[in-house]
Amino acid sequence: MTQLSIAKDGDISESMHKVADIEGVSTDFLKEKIAAGEIVLLQNIKRKDLFPVGIGTGLRIKINANIGTSKDLNDLELEINKLKEAIKYGAHTVMDLSTGGDLTEIRKRMIEESNVPIGTVPVYQGAYYMMKKGKSFAEMKVKDFFNLIQEQAEQGVDFMTIHCGVTRSSVNRLKKDGRLAGLVSRGGSLMVEWMEFNKAENPFYQYYDDLLAIAYDYDITLSLGDGFRPGAIDDSTDRPQVQELIILGELVERAREGNVQVMVEGPGHIPINEIETNILLEKKLCKNAPFYVLGPLVTDVAPGYDHIVGAIGGSIAAVSGADYLCYVTPAEHLKLPDVSDVREGVIASRIAAHVGDMIRRNEVDWDYALSKARKDFHWDEVIKLALDPVKAETFRSMVKPQDNEVCSMCGDFCAIKKMKKVLGGGE
């Protein structure tokens, strides 16, 4: 049984009760949207104590933080610190994208230490272990792909990115059309390597039912990876990207028929005026499956500040209907993120998600409360309500005002204070 099959049967699970409560929606609404595939609940059945996270129509916009080792920086404790920092600052989920060290052990620790759903890209593990054996990824056997999924499912991974839409036809579309940055998806590029070398179809596409069977057993939510996401503004919304999305749409319906929860991943580098179209396209082609966007990044020119670039794109995506934002850290395109990069990425993404919730769910009480506290000079309350109270407190303390009511920017020129004096407090 999966949340999807339960909902289709018209039943309401304990997880649905929990999620409906925290999201402020009715259990009936939630059940109907899960049954329709518009909402997924992330929770591997092995993780009974996990508070499930709901993603999709009518729910708050969620954010994900990617962490994980690499060959160049492989330190499990550092990754655990990143995990904790991400959760502390409000990441709703974390993906372990480790590609260095003992991947199984790292994943085990992440799952143990995390009270939020954990996602993975299973093929990374295959590629890493083949590399360690001195072999090419292309030598991997089809059954090994599914063994990987099985192993990670059994460990308790809650959602998995699988690049099922990287098929012979979509790869041919890429070859035919060309692109500035080519493929920038690691998982996608691995599948292309395997397919080209073996002159074979993507095993996750060809044997999709086997994938669905494992996902069903553990109620793992499939996140259909966007192997062809544009990695440069020049490649945005091109034929390879849309070709893959069409295939993903087909696979969404097959997953739903198999009672497997499924969402769809999306771009990527997209100019600001194409974001709304990308969201609409996903919603149409993939029958309103929850949309998980990476950024989007609205310009290529700001490495070191891609968290800001992603917050711009993410805000517009959120307002336009995206359900789930993958954070981008300041380190993107330059290095593996450290703990402070993770924090900056999570906060930028949370701003974008909240901006979306303000519009889509009319969630403006938080804004009202903070501005009310600001107007009343209740600084303790302002700091407590701030998205990052630690930074707000630190900044306020850096240049202490002589008058405790105001701040050191305006000092005696505080307009709010003057207006209270002149017009009275109750305007």
- In the range 158-177, which residues lie near its own copies by CB under 8 A? 174-175
What is the C-alpha separation between 310 and 359, in angstroms, rounded? Answer: 19
Closer residue to its own copies (CB): 68 or 290: 68
Map tokens 């009936």 to a residue.
28
Query: In three state form, how does the secondary structure of 324-360 look?
Result: EEECCCCCCCCCCCCHHHHHHHHHHHHHHHHHHHHHH
Closer residue to its own copies (CB): 56 or 231: 231
Which of 337, 282, 332 has its CA nearest to residue 82? 337
Q: Of 219, 300, 324, 404, which lies in the binding site for its own copies, with binding defined by CB under 8 A?
A: 300
What does the per-residue mask of binding to its own copies show for 6-25, with x meaning CB under 8 A?
A: --------------------
- What is the torsion angle, in degrees rounded to the nearest 10, for the CA atoms of residue 41, residue 45, residue 48 and residue 52? -10
Position 380 contacts its own copies (CB under 8 A): no
Closer residue to its own copies (CB): 70 or 277: 70
What is the C-alpha separation between 31 and 105, in angstroms, rounded? Answer: 36
Give the contacts of 261 (CB within 8 A, at least 6 positions apart).
2, 3, 4, 34, 37, 40, 41, 215, 219, 220, 221, 222, 255
Q: Of 18, 80, 100, 361, which lies in the binding site for its own copies, with binding defined by CB under 8 A?
A: 100
3-class secondary-structure state, position 387? coil
Helix (H) or strand (E) holding 266: strand 262-266
Closer residue to its own copies (CB): 58 or 182: 182
Which region, judged by CB under 8 A, interacts with its own copies, from 3-11, 84-92, 245-253, 330-338?
330-338
Closer residue to its own copies (CB): 45 or 138: 138
Map tokens 């499924």 to a residue.
262
- Asked whether the beta carbons of 131 and 157 are under 8 A apart, the reply is no
**Site residues (CB under 8 A) for its own copies, limited to 340-369:** 347-348, 351-352, 354-355, 358-359, 364, 366-368
Position 76 contacts its own copies (CB under 8 A): no
Which region, judged by CB under 8 A, interacts with its own copies, from 186-194, 216-224, 245-253, 260-268?
186-194
**Site residues (CB under 8 A) for its own copies, limited to 115-134:** 124, 127, 131
Position 238 contacts its own copies (CB under 8 A): no
Q: Of 157, 183, 264, 325, which lies in the binding site for its own copies, with binding defined by CB under 8 A?
A: 183
Which region, judged by CB under 8 A, interacts with its own copies, from 52-60, 214-222, 258-266, 308-316?
308-316
What is the C-alpha separation between 267 and 326, in angstroms, rounded? Answer: 10
Closer residue to its own copies (CB): 1 or 419: 419
Cα→Cα distances 38→49, 57, 291, Å: 24, 6, 9
Which of 106, 54, 49, 51 has its CA nearest to residue 77? 106
**Site residues (CB under 8 A) for its own copies, limited to 392-421:** 392, 394-396, 398-402, 407-416, 418-421
Which region, judged by CB under 8 A, interacts with its own copies, from 28-36, 145-153, 244-252, 324-332?
324-332
What is the C-alpha separation between 115 and 108, in angstroms, rounded? Answer: 13
Position 199 contacts its own copies (CB under 8 A): no
Position 239 contacts its own copies (CB under 8 A): no
Position 280 contacts its own copies (CB under 8 A): no
DSSP 150: H
Closer residue to its own copies (CB): 48 or 421: 421
User: Cβ 309 to its own copies, closest distance in Å?
Assistant: 6
Q: Of 307, 321, 324, 326, which lies in the binding site for its own copies, with binding defined by CB under 8 A?
A: 307
Structure tokens at 148: 């990987």
What is the C-alpha separation between 59 and 50, in angstroms, rounded? Answer: 19
Position 180 contacts its own copies (CB under 8 A): yes
Closer residue to its own copies (CB): 16 or 63: 63
